[in-house]
Amino acid sequence: MKHCPALLVSAPASGQGKTTITAALARLHRNQGRRVHVFKIGPDFLDPMILEQASGNPVYQLDLWMGGKAHCQQLLYQAASRADLILIEGVMGLFDGEPSSADIAAAFGIPVLAVIDATAMAQTFGAVAHGLATYRPDLHFAGILANRVASKSHAEMLQESLSPDLPWFGAIFSEQNSLIPSRHLGLVQADEVDDIDRRLDKFARQFSEETALNTLPQAVAFSAPGVALNALPHTLKNVRIAVASDNAFSFIYRANLNLLQAMGAKLMAFSPLNDRVLPDADSLYLPGGYPELHLEKLATNQTMREAIRDHHAAGKAIVAECGGMLYLLTTLTDSSGQQGNMMDILPGKATMQNRLVNLGLHSGTFPNGELRGHTFHYSKLETSLESSSLTQPTRKSLKPEPIFQDGKLTASYIHWYFPSNPAVVAALFQP
């Protein structure tokens, strides 16, 4: 059993400011000399980049469906063993999704800080806070933080609307909320914001001065999983895996990379944007990202395109996810109509749309088991290629995604969460 102060930052809905608040809290406590470990609930790549920059430590996902309870418990136990504070950013609204942020809070006894966007709201603020705090009796509420508040008098009105048993942690004013700009998939990547550290330090100072969140929350007891997670067999021992990693391909779960290394793989990062030569690799991992924002550069890096084509022609393994799959198509067209020639390994084309095409949690069935992950994309795919199988969404209203397999190539829109089934992953990457 390990004890560590912990707090889950949630809200009534998306867009309330959870990432900004969590990042500011992480930087505040880091600047006070504490070791802060942050988690993100659900399948997300962009928020963790901001949270890593704020905390100075790797950020991992907590997802009861993709990873399972024992996996989440192990991650929290390991963090509690070395951290002075654990922060967890929720996903969507507190009770949204199956499983939800509330399910994580209840499963591990983590107190909840509710961030509520108070724009154009007065006494109704208290009603929303009361509903969040009482909807599920198995949750422990640490308190309420008002975000995007217009003035000090507005803050006083909001505080007065709260039930006496709901702690008030303060107000963040509207002019203080420009931390990270957004684009179609969410926030921009942290390394694209030149002055992100200055912004984070500014928010941390404001939090220290204007909220009651500069002291540690209550400690939570984290236990190791009841059934010890078995050490992974070295089924990828000495397998050299080249991992695409740059501004076009950056949607990578840290847990995925850790798993590959735990199975004995040797990882080598490379940039399809900037490198001319592919590392001498047995297998290739092309994760998702923003290839549509780098069409010209990807299209004109002819030597890299030839190297990846040669890798495929040699019958070597390729795992491509979402943006990585788009890179393998014949062409990719952005939302303004600009088209770029891609790999032409998979016959077909994709065009970016103005609306979300598909999202949600999915599983895929492979010869040696089920692999879980999620899809979230704005592109529409047109291809004559027959899919080898279709994914199974967790909700009937969601659309299945095709999985394309050609020899040792596996491509789909799914961002796979490798810890959900290491045996399947090992088979995909084995030469």
| Domain limits, the chain | 2-222, 240-429
What 3-state class would DSSP assign to 37? strand
Could you say which DSSP state residue 119 is in?
T
Residue type, 144: I
Would you place residue 282 in the very low, low, confident or very high pLDDT band (cuts 50, 70, 90)?
Answer: very high
Average pLDDT over residues 331-356: 96
Parallel, antiparallel or unpaired: strands 141-149 and 112-117: parallel
Q: What pTM was computed for the model?
A: 0.93
Average pLDDT over residues 343-361: 95
Task: Report the candidate in 96, 44, 99 with the shortest Cα–Cα distance to residue 376.
Answer: 44
Model confidence at 189: pLDDT above 70: no
Average pLDDT over residues 57-62: 97
Between CA 403 and CA 343 the distance in angstroms is 18
Axis crossing angle, helix 124-134 with helix 152-160, rounded to the nearest 10: 50
Peptide bond before residue 99 is cis, with ω within 30 degrees of 0: yes
In this predicted structure, which of 1-5, 228-232, 302-306, 408-412 has the lowest mean pLDDT?
A: 228-232
How many helical (H) and strand (E) elements, i.e. helices and strands, does the chain have?
12, 27
Q: Return the percentage of the chain with pLDDT > 90, whole number.
A: 85
Between CA 334 and CA 352 the distance in angstroms is 5
pLDDT tens profile 400-429: 999 999 999 999 999 999 999 999 999 999
Model confidence at 186: pLDDT above 50: no
**66: CB partners within 8 A, 6+ apart:** 43, 361, 372, 373, 374, 417, 420
pLDDT tens profile 327-336: 999 999 999 9
Model confidence at 227: pLDDT above 70: no
Rounded to an integer, what is the distance from CA 298 to the centroid of its chain? 24
Model confidence at 179: pLDDT above 80: no
Residue type, 125: F
**371: CB partners within 8 A, 6+ apart:** 363, 364, 416, 417, 418, 420, 421, 424, 425
Task: Report the candidate in 247, 279, 246 with the shortest Cα–Cα distance to residue 265.
Answer: 279
Per-residue confidence (pLDDT) for residue 187, from 0 to 100: 46
Model confidence at 226: pLDDT above 80: no
Between CA 201 and CA 206 the distance in angstroms is 9
pLDDT tens profile 6-40: 999 999 999 999 999 999 999 999 999 999 999 99
CATH class belonging to 240-429? alpha beta
Could you say which DSSP state residue 397 is in?
T
Average pLDDT over residues 262-272: 97
Question: Is 251:45 a contact under the CB 8 Å cutoff?
Answer: yes
Rounded to an integer, what is the distance from CA 55 to the centroid of its chain? 16
Between CA 373 and CA 293 the distance in angstroms is 24
Per-residue confidence (pLDDT) for residue 84, from 0 to 100: 98
- Are both 2-222 and 240-429 of the same fold? yes
Catalytic choice (114, 190, 259, 322): 322
Phi, psi at 374, each rounded to 5° = -150, 160
CATH of 2-222, one of 3.40.50.300, 3.30.365.10, 3.20.20.70, 1.10.357.10: 3.40.50.300
Residue 4 annotated to the active site: no
For the chain, the average pLDDT equals 93
Would you place residue 324 in the very low, low, confident or very high pLDDT band (cuts 50, 70, 90)?
Answer: very high
Could you say which DSSP state residue 70 is in?
H
pLDDT tens profile 65-96: 999 999 999 999 999 999 999 999 999 999 99
**322: CB partners within 8 A, 6+ apart:** 251, 287, 288, 289, 375, 376, 377, 412, 413, 414, 415
